[in-house]
Amino acid sequence: MDDVEDLRINQQQLMNEISALLQSTSERSDANALQLNQELQRRLMQVRTKILAMLQVVRTRFSRNEDILVRRLRPRSHFGPDSLNLSGAILRKGTFRFKGNLFFRDIDGRSCPNNEDYEARCHTEMFPTDFDMHSRHVWTLLDKKNVIMGIKQQLIDHRAHNTLPSGSLKRKPTERHLNTLVSLLASADSSFSIDWNQISTLDLEYRHSPYSCEAMWRVYLSPDLRRDDWSPEEDETLLAVATANRMQNWELTAASLERRSDYQCFVRFHTALRYLMEPKTSCRWSDEDNDRLREIVDRNTANGVINWKKVVEYFPDKSKSTLIGRYYYVLHPRISHEAFTTKEDMMLFAAVEEYNGKFHCFPRSLFPNRSLTQLRTRYHNVLAQRNKTDSWSVQDDTQLMSFVTQYGASQWLNCATFLGNHTRTSCRTRFLVIKKFLEQNPNAKVEDLPRRRSKKVSLVNSENWAQRLQEWQENPESLVKAESTKRTRMRGPRSKKAKIERESSSKLMKVDLELCEF
């Protein structure tokens, strides 16, 4: 009773223990009073230990933040190791471009200043880099609101027999806020027409062209069109009509639906209904798809830049983000799919400590053969959980299945918190293993699940990675010896059963040879 037990205890279990203790010591006696006093001291020791552990974590974080702050505030020398720095956009492979030359840049991504020849010729000639200088604006909610307000103002001016705007650009749009667009359109006569040039220049301040404003009005902003959520009946009608029209002639498809434009039908079909016609898109990538993506990317790559618009045309059932993620995270030639080495584990521990867990800030030269997804998965699912998780016991499996039965197979984070000694990924993987075993063996129970002893040999963990890194820097051969010892330990001695099987197989081979000779 005097020892400090594990602090991760269930609250309901704690209340049950206190209730049972109070019931057992309800009688007034010296022995019961002494027992209650001892139990109170034990509980207070638990709270004290927990507070001290939290205080130690806070102190460690505070000292680490102090070191980082001092290091950042320290003045950099011109010839020191900290004189060069990679900007965040370069680390993230940013696609931003400053003005001027696109090819000659410093390590921070900034180009050299323009020379006199460029400044003189840029006024009379068109350079290839000038196409990237024009600003591109997407349609924001404010832009759409300004289009509607501009149309309402033109309707009010037309009703007041003032088709031309006043000489001052500062209009007082008080009346257009009091009337709805539907009522103003209903009161307008046939002589009214929308001046899209005025909408583009005056209301949107040249953010969008007149043709773009007119297209947005016709396919989306017009009050004759519906902009609410699509109903299941509309989805069924759209899927049937689009299939009948072979995913073409969207004007005819929109005519089958009530108050929907061809643009709305096209977007809705390709974003929400296309996968129903091609169920293969929801399956995993096959080897043929991977080889095809590699070939098309190589064909559409020039000077290290991939033209993803051309690549998407060959995969109509997949989005651009899916193709980019598949190539850069799985199929890129520089990505290695081999197991992480001890050296990479130590470097990953050091990088997480240095950059405070911000994986997107890791220099590309630190892990040239690994993607960010591999690094993040390796650290969170393997390295950070070493010496924290146990092998799956019968009690853990029973608690796992009871939790899934009660809350469903989706709340894996809460399941990991409920168990306390397993991660959410481990819980999900274990559930799938148990589910497959019970499907193959209908009469079996959770206790009948075959178990094996854990053979994990971890040379590096969150506690000794700094020491291992120092040893490896002092003696690089120690890492090779440690890995060879790990492989030997994991391989283990061969069993006698395997030896007997080899002897029997050799005898069978001799019998086969004799039969052949006969």
Q: Residue 481 corresponds to which amino acid?
A: K
Residues 110-149 pLDDT 10s: 667 777 877 777 777 655 555 444 445 788 899 999 999 9
Distance CA 281, CA 387 (A): 40
Long-range Cβ contact pairs of 210-218 (< 8 A, separation 24 or more): 213/147, 216/139, 216/144, 216/147, 217/147, 217/151, 218/261
Structural contact between residues 72 and 31, judged by C-beta atoms closer than 8 angstroms: no
Ranges 1-15, 44-58, 278-292: which has the least confidence: 1-15
Q: Compute the C-alpha angle 447/448/452, nearest 5°.
A: 95
pLDDT the model gives residue 53: 92
pLDDT at 218 over 90: no
Measured CA angle at 446 (ends 441, 452), to 5 deg: 95
pLDDT of residue 76 exceeding 60: no
**pLDDT single digits (tens) 18-41:** 788 888 888 888 888 888 888 888
Specify whether the backbone of 356 is left (phi greater than 0), alpha (psi in -120 to 50) or beta: left
Which tens digit of pLDDT belongs to each residue from 418-457?
Answer: 888 788 888 888 899 998 888 888 888 888 888 766 555 5
pLDDT at res. 40: 84
How far apart CA 106 and CA 19 sit, in angstroms, is 70
User: Could you say which DSSP state residue 341 is in?
Assistant: P
- Give residue 463's pLDDT band: very low, low, confident or very high (50, 70, 90): low
Q: Identify the weakest region by mean pLDDT among 34-48, 153-167, 287-301, 475-489.
A: 475-489
Phi, psi angles (nearest 5°) of residue 148: -65, -45
Compute the average pLDDT of residues 379-399: 79
Helix-then-strand count for the chain, H and E: 23, 2
- Percentage of the chain with pLDDT > 70? 71
| Residue at 166: amino acid letter | S
Q: Are 254 and 219 in contact (CB under 8 A)?
A: no
Task: Please give the Cα distance from 276 to 263 (Å, whole number).
Answer: 20
Return the amino acid letter for 488. Answer: T
Instruction: Give the CA count within 13 Å in the CB-facing half-sphere of 458.
Output: 18
Q: What is the pLDDT of residues 320-362, one digit of tens each?
A: 888 888 888 888 888 888 888 888 888 888 888 888 888 888 8
pLDDT for 69 beyond 90? no
pTM score, whole prediction: 0.40
The amino acid at residue 394 is V
